[in-house]
Amino acid sequence: MNVDGKRVAIVAGGSTGIGLAVTRSLLAEGLNVCCLSHDAASLQAVSTATAEADRQRLLTLQCDLADAAQISRAVETTVERFGGIDALAYTAGVQAYGSVVETPEDCWDHVMDVNLKGVYRISRACIPHMARRGGGAIVIISSVQGLACQAGVAAYAASKGGVNALVRAMAIDHAADGIRVNALCPGSVDTPMLRASAERFRGDKTVEDTLAEWGKSHALGRVARPDEVANVACFLLGDKASFVTGSTVTVDGGLTAALAVRLPEDET
């Protein structure tokens, strides 16, 4: 039983970007939340920015998601603090650019280690605790790049395609334990990672102009805010999504709904 009767969530990579928005949203919904990150400064910022009334429901832990022992300790600390685990959001991720020819093997391994194997590590640690409590929900932040991809993102696209397949496998394997598992595939989202990419590729433009240009690829004409993705993640983690499992849910502003084909202009 939870120590205070509240549901308990772990947000891996929960101190920046989409993860931070998920952490804030779950706290707002009244959950006890353990926020994991490798970055101590961003964890401190999360704690400082959390209202004092909510701070007792927030646990921040520095954790390297490439280290199974650290993950295990973080999960056990969460259980000791809050009494169990009901939900897991894996929002950590790294981007890399290049074809398979251009991507060094150590870079490939790092992308797979964080984006894909990290999901395996933390799910492996959390699922037994969820099963003992009669069920739970897992949401993994994937990407539209796991469904269709641009040029020059071989490692990233492969990692996200692997995530989508792993989500389906876990959904089937653990349905009998009452555990739902879903992937969420955003399009472009205004996060530090996207801004770093915009800085890299902006040329003579500003970062803001580059983000605005990238936003035009989406039917809605803009990139997403992190909270717009977090809202869907929190829905999937909640009881209102009780019959949703094994799904890849796109939150992409219509990006993958469009074809690149364009009709010629009507000159009549």
Residues 71, 124: Cα–Cα separation, whole Å: 10
Residues 163, 166: Cα–Cα separation, whole Å: 5
Quickly count: other Cβ atoms within 10 Å of residue 61's Cβ. Answer: 19
User: Using an 8 Å Cβ cutoff, are 48 and 74 in contact?
Assistant: no
- Tell me if residue 156 is catalytic: yes
Q: Which two tokens stand for residue 210?
A: 């580059």
Q: Which two tokens stand for residue 75?
A: 């999960």
Q: Among 90, 97, 120, 156, which one carries the catalytic annotation?
A: 156
Residues 130, 139: Cα–Cα separation, whole Å: 14
Residues 188, 215: Cα–Cα separation, whole Å: 7
User: Using an 8 Å Cβ cutoff, are 212 and 185 in contact?
Assistant: no
Which DSSP symbol is given to 264? P
Q: Which residues are catalytic?
A: 156
